[in-house]
Amino acid sequence: MKMRELHDTINEYYARTGGDPRDLGIAYGVYPSVGDCYYILHHYDSYIYGYRDERGGDNVIGQSSDPMDIVYEVIKNQIAQVATDYELHHRVYWQDFRRVLFQKRLELMRLVDEQFYLRLQEEINEILKNAPYTDYDSPHADAILQYITTLKKIIKDQHYHKRKLCIRSINTIYNKIQSPYSPALADFLTIKIQELLIQVRKNGVDFQKYSYFQELEDVLNKYLEVKKQSE
């Protein structure tokens, strides 16, 4: 397959996903003189698909004597980028992020070519065989959200015992959830607790008088500080 034909095939296949082929940014037949650029070379009997980074480093993504293997690698790489962006905007917080990511990759690849779809599905199955999905502990999340909902309903009331019980329960579960295996869930619940404490302050609750609110805020701030230090 000549380089021009390879170029046209890649553009045609990528357009099937709804993407603009101009976004591919591939240099065909020449090694890029500047960084941050993908390239495809034909060297003897092999086609080489690679990426030159901003520092001039060379990363070979795929190499094959079959040009359709290169088409597959290009489309797979581009779809992975699109799916990653999609997952970030459609994240399910107590679920392994790869569920949405892989589903989107397969959905897009099926628009391109059935054989490519089956090939990607096989690769993903192999990944999951070695590293199965690890969903977060949703009962903990459900419990915290339920306590927050209850607490919001009784903030203005004089049910001090009920308020204290809710806050202490949130505090206990929130401490349990702050573990390395569920950072996305911890971040999500952190936002919900921040919103809760803002509402509590707006309703004029004195944190010094009702120290259990201050205890929750202290745990929240401690988590944010640890998170900041780890970044």
pLDDT tens digits along 84-121: 999 888 877 667 788 999 999 999 999 999 999 999 99
The verdict on 163 and 58 lying in the same domain is no
Report the Cα 32 to chain-centroid distance in Å. Answer: 30
The verdict on 149 and 39 lying in the same domain is no
Report the Cα 185 to chain-centroid distance in Å. Answer: 12
Which residue is associated with the tokens 């192999």?
A: 126
Give the pLDDT confidence score for residue 181 in this predicted structure. Answer: 45
* Of 177 and 227, the one with more pLDDT: 227
Give the pLDDT confidence score for residue 187 in this predicted structure. Answer: 73
E strands of 96-146, at which residues? none
Name the DSSP letter for residue 182.
-
Is 153's pLDDT higher than 70? no
pLDDT digits (tens, 9 = 90+) for 114-130: 999 999 999 999 999 99
pLDDT-derived band of residue 204, with 50, 70 and 90 as boundaries? confident
The verdict on 75 and 41 lying in the same domain is yes
* Of 168 and 177, the one with more pLDDT: 168
The verdict on 150 and 167 lying in the same domain is yes
pLDDT-derived band of residue 198, with 50, 70 and 90 as boundaries? confident
The verdict on 117 and 49 lying in the same domain is yes
Q: At which of 130, 163, 188 does a domain end?
A: 130
Q: Residue 209 belongs to what domain range?
A: 138-230
The verdict on 121 and 158 lying in the same domain is no
Q: Are 118 and 125 in contact (CB under 8 A)?
A: no
Q: Count how many domains the chain has.
A: 2
pLDDT digits (tens, 9 = 90+) for 37-76: 889 998 888 999 988 887 777 888 888 999 999 999 999 9
The verdict on 123 and 22 lying in the same domain is yes
Give the pLDDT confidence score for residue 141 in this predicted structure. Answer: 59
Q: What is the mean predicted confidence (pLDDT) over 186-213? A: 77
Backbone angles phi, psi at 17, to 5 degrees: -80, -10
| Angstrom distance (rounded) from CA 121 to CA 128 | 11
Average pLDDT of the chain to the nearest whole number: 80
Is 180's pLDDT higher than 60? no
